[in-house]
Copies of this chain bind each other. A is one copy, B any other.
Amino acid sequence: MLWLRWASYSQEPMDIREIARRAKVSTATASRAINRVSTVDPQLAKRVWKVVDELGYYPNTQARALVSGRSRIFGLIVSEFTNPFFPEIVQTFENLAVGNNYEILLTSTVNDPRRMELSVRRMIERRVDGVAILTFGMEETLLEHLRFRSVPLVFVDVGPDVRGIANIRINYQNGIRQAVQHLAALRHTRIAFVAGPLHLKSALARQEAFKASMIEIGLPPELIVVGDHRLEGGMRALIEIGRLNTRPTAVLCSNDMTAIGVMRQAYDQKIKIPDDLSVVGFDDIRMAEFTMPPLTTVQMSQKDLAKIAFQALLNEVEGRSTSHERHEYELTTNLVLRLSTALAPAGRPSTTPPKRVGASRFRKVSTTVQSD
């Protein structure tokens, strides 16, 4: 706190020159000491650091960035913070950022083309060192602006056509197959699927995974209704499903909000879950643990996703990767058993809920990521 008293009676600029002067060294040496360059004489270094601490000197990052050409900022573009899928990602990303002396420039597109464009512009203006785009849909032309400036990019789930940018591919099939087989094992044969907005690649992929998984075990993937990945869509979907002449005993949803909508509608109609109807979600957002009953769901680990994204960016920037190879990462989804699924009503002799699992197991993703 010494510098605080100092502060009270002098308000001169505290810049690296001031530090240098007081430590009786050149600015170059001061700079080196501060940046822990090993060749600097320990004596001098100590003198510099003493002054730095006494004065509470904090280097000006802008100036640093200007001369070094690296801002130590990673951009993170998401759709919407209020989408429950993102908070965990942002938190994990930030944890990694602080640990690596990066700042994060967080931006949301709120599904507005103008905001998308603005996001990209902001990234460029602030000269970010890399951008993670977790927004399930982004105009190709905007990316060109980033690519043109050779800003490292990480993407989730874009097609295989884009070259020169890292890509995290989601293995939807794995988790969805587990979900379908879990339901089948509980004697469900009439399994419905509530899809998401099919113009989204991710929603389409989930639906396809569902169909494939059903066919795989000889069940017809017929009962499909389209939702919107929101609560309302889930509610509407269950109403629609209720009108079907062959009523399903289980419903798999394209995301958790949809599943929560289904459960809400079931609650309103006094349909008991899981006794009358088994429900499975997708994503494993935080809320999935808090529903009643807790939701069985396919987990797409937001933590792992963030870790992979961050690490990919870091690899790119620190040049640990030769720039001409194709950078592919994979995130595998897995079923998390909770309490919203049970034996199918017809074949159920007694109420035997599936064993509850505390934590989920993952198959390790195909890339090494730093732990928390």
- B-contacting residues of A (Cβ < 8 Å)? 1, 4, 7, 56, 58-63, 65-66, 71, 80-82, 84, 86-88, 90-91, 94-95, 98, 103-108, 110, 115, 118, 121-122, 124-127, 141, 144-145, 148, 231, 260, 263-264, 267, 286-287, 290-293
Contact = CB atoms under 8 A, between A and B. Distances in A.
A108 B98 CA distance: 10
A263 B292 contact: yes
A106 B108 contact: no
A231 B270 CA distance: 25
A145 B14 CA distance: 13
Interface of A is mostly: helix
A56 B124 CA distance: 11
A91 B98 contact: no
A121 B101 CA distance: 11
Given A63-B66, A290-B231, A103 B122 contact: yes
B287 A59 contact: no
Given A60-B125, A127-B61, A148-B4, A87 B81 contact: yes
Given A62-B127, A125-B60, A103 B105 contact: yes
Given A60-B125, A141-B1, A148-B56, A267 B292 contact: yes
Contact of A94 (B60, B81, B231): B81
Nearest to A14: B149
Nearest to A3: B148
Nearest to A94: B108
**4 nearest interchain CB pairs?**
A81-B91, A267-B292, A81-B87, A62-B65
Contact of A58 (B66, B108, B121): B121
B290 A260 contact: yes
Nearest to A98: B118
A125 B59 contact: yes
A70 B141 CA distance: 32
Contact of A125 (B7, B58, B86, B122): B58
B81 A90 contact: yes
A365 to B, nearest CB: 21
Contacts of A125: 58-61
A11 B353 CA distance: 64
A81 B82 CA distance: 11
